[in-house]
Amino acid sequence: MNHEILLIAGAAAGIGFVHTLLGPDHYLPFIVIARARQWRLSKTLFVSFLCGLGHVLSSVALGLLGIALGVAVFKLENIEAFRGGMAAWLLIGFGFAYFLWGLRRAIKNKPHKHVHFHADGEEHDHHHHHGDEHAHVHDLAAKKTNLTPWILFAIFVFGPCEPLIPMIMYPAAKHSVAGVILVATAFGAVTIATMLTIIAFASWGISFVKLGKLERYVHALAGAMIFFSGLSVQFLGL
């Protein structure tokens, strides 16, 4: 393996770090969804790892397919740009839909007061919200039908790793399979490691944040943050 390929692998690792750090869509959705759904950190990191792996491998697969078919780099980059737009709009749509669902849930679960009158004329009241009624049944159903991790995975598979395609072209042109693997692994490993590190520290920190009366809006807030994250990717190029 020549010196140039090693340099490209090092550059791929550095770009993977910066690419992930500057892209809030790489970690923000997992942080806010995990907080809203009260996922354990182990589950959050597992879902994040799978999404990150799909994110990287989809671009690697596209790059290798382009190499095999002799597709020019600029054509692959156009395809990646199209995938990026699709992923951003999917993230925007998912965030907006989750926001509306969370808002409806918050309104439905608004605490309210019931007054009870007794035969002796005494009265008392108590506060509750309907979200607590038969909670064990609804929680069980939610666990069986929770599609959120799969939606995130699908969005991340659509999401491209734009800097990776031109980087794997050089070792491919040199017919160095080991070089392609090294560059792709360096980029992918650093990208996923950066994602997981940010998510782990942010999830730990946000666990100390108490929203008080706003807690019932946590799903709506999560959806709004995902929505704006998608907008930042689509219109600010983050």
pLDDT in tens, 5-46: 899 999 999 999 998 999 888 999 999 999 999 899 999 999
Residue 115: predicted pLDDT: 52
Please state, rounded to an integer, the average pLDDT across all residues of the chain: 82
Residue 29 sits at the vertex; the CA angle it makes with 40 and 153, to the nearest 5 degrees, is: 85
The phi, psi pair for 126, rounded to 5°, reads: -145, 155
Non-local (6+) Cβ contacts of 141 within 8 A are none
| pLDDT at residue 231 greater than cutoff 80 | yes
Q: 120 in helix, strand or coil?
A: coil
Q: Is-contact 216 186, C-beta < 8 A?
A: no
Is the confidence at residue 74, as pLDDT, over 60? yes
Q: Which pLDDT score is estimated for 69? A: 78
Beta-carbon contacts of residue 228 (< 8 Å; ≥ 6 apart)? 95
Q: What is the pLDDT of residues 95-127, one digit of tens each?
A: 999 999 999 988 887 654 545 555 555 555 555
**Structure tokens of 185?**
């692994």
- Angle value at C-alpha 94, between 91 and 99, nearest 5 degrees: 120
Higher-pLDDT residue of 226 and 119 is 226
Q: Do 84 and 234 contact (CB within 8 A), yes or no? A: no
Q: Which of 2, 83, 25, 69 is nearest to 199 (CA)?
A: 25
CA-to-CA distance for 82 and 117, rounded, in angstroms?
64
Band of the pLDDT at 238, cuts 50, 70, 90?
Answer: low
d(CA 228, CA 234): 10
pLDDT tops 60 at residue 141: no
Kindly compute the dihedral angle of the four CA atoms of residues 211, 134, 148, 188, in this order, to the nearest 10 degrees.
Answer: 70
pTM above 0.75, yes or no: yes
